[in-house]
Amino acid sequence: MDAILELFQYDFFLKAFIAAVLASISCGIVGSYIVSRRIVFISGGITHASFGGIGLAFFLGFNPLLGAVLFAVLSALGIQFFTKVAEIREDSSIAIWWSLGMALGIIFIFITPGYTPNLMSFLFGNILTVTIAELWWMLALTVVIIATFSLMFRKILYIAFDEEYARAAGLPVNLFNYLLIVLIALTVVLNIRVVGIILILSLLTIPQATANLFTNSFKKLLVLSSVFAFTGTVSGLFISYFLDIPSGAAIIFTLVIMFAVLKALKYIF
């Protein structure tokens, strides 16, 4: 116990802990929406496409997070455009944007002269290197997400459940869909630090699957998912520190084990 408390005296660990709290809340809420609407694959596409923006930012020398946001939002809109306007199958449009983003990222980083950034930390995350500026951005996003979901909870829920009925009622369904896809894009990008591009889908789906074992109400799902995400992220963080393994992978591993154990317990009892 002392060893754990001692860790909080370290600046880097305190920052990592705060990042874990913020990531759990934003991913818990947004992930519940993603899972309920069955748009996990779209979210995966957006996540991976953002890598192109990170590469572009390194090549041109601006903030990688900004590049990632740009590409995430562009790909979100691009997938919609490909599907609705260009009439390309949705799963194919997602795959196109998914791989295009990754390819661009690799090309840009390859042609960037001089120092090449550590690709691994973007692909697999490193919560221990999170900066104060990034924490502020994560805090702002978490506040926006909490505000959006508490102020418009019923509308978001009813549109997600039965879009056609909401349209018939005259709700601005498209506007809500775009707002939420932008929130998804931002959530993904600002949490890349925590578990990385390749692993972020896990924070958006595993805590939700665990929470879903215990509740069928959307509201409780939002809260419980955040709680499970927090438990998994923080435990993973400690495990990563004491076993000296990469934090992103340790977090995912903890989340999966937690899900498996609870699922088994629920099955038995």
Partner 1 sequence: MEPLIKIVNLNVGYDKTPVLQNVNLEIFEKDFLGVIGPNGGGKTTLLKAILGLLKPFSGTIHFRKDISGRKKPIGYLPQVKHMDKKFPITVFEVVHSGSIMEGASKSKSEINDKVAQLLTEMGVYNIRNKAIGELSGGQMQRVFLCRALLSEPKILILDEPDTFVDNRFEGELYERLRKLNEEIAIVLVSHDMGTISSYVKTIACVNRNLHYHRSNTISQEQLNDYNCPIQIISHGTIPHTVLKQHN
Residues that bind partner 1 (CB under 8 A): 32, 36, 38, 154-155, 157-158, 160-162, 164-171, 212, 215-218, 221
Q: Which is nearer to partner 1, 107 or 157 (CB)?
A: 157
Rounded CA Rg of the chain: 19
The number of C-alpha atoms within 13 Å of 66 and in the hemisphere containing its C-beta is 9
Cβ 223 to partner 1 shortest distance, Å: 12
Cβ 91 to partner 1 shortest distance, Å: 18
Which residue reads 């390194």 in tokens? 58
Q: Which is nearer to partner 1, 32 or 191 (CB)?
A: 32
Cβ 247 to partner 1 shortest distance, Å: 30
**How far is Cα 85 from Cα 220, in angstroms, rounded to an integer?**
37
* CB proximity list for 139: less than 8 A, separation 6 or greater: 22
Q: Which is nearer to partner 1, 155 or 182 (CB)?
A: 155
Tokens at 96, concatenated: 């196109």
Q: Which is nearer to partner 1, 111 or 154 (CB)?
A: 154
Cβ 89 to partner 1 shortest distance, Å: 15
Cβ 44 to partner 1 shortest distance, Å: 19
Q: How many CB atoms lie within 10 A of CB 179?
A: 14
**For the range 150-159, what are the long-range contacts, defined as Cβ-Cβ under 8 Å and sequence gap of 24 or more?**
152/176, 153/219, 156/33, 156/180, 157/218
Four-point Cα dihedral 172, 178, 181, 187, nearest 10: -100
Angle between helices 200-212 and 247-268 (to 10 degrees): 20
Cβ 1 to partner 1 shortest distance, Å: 37
Q: Which is nearer to partner 1, 177 or 215 (CB)?
A: 215
Q: Which is nearer to partner 1, 168 or 261 (CB)?
A: 168
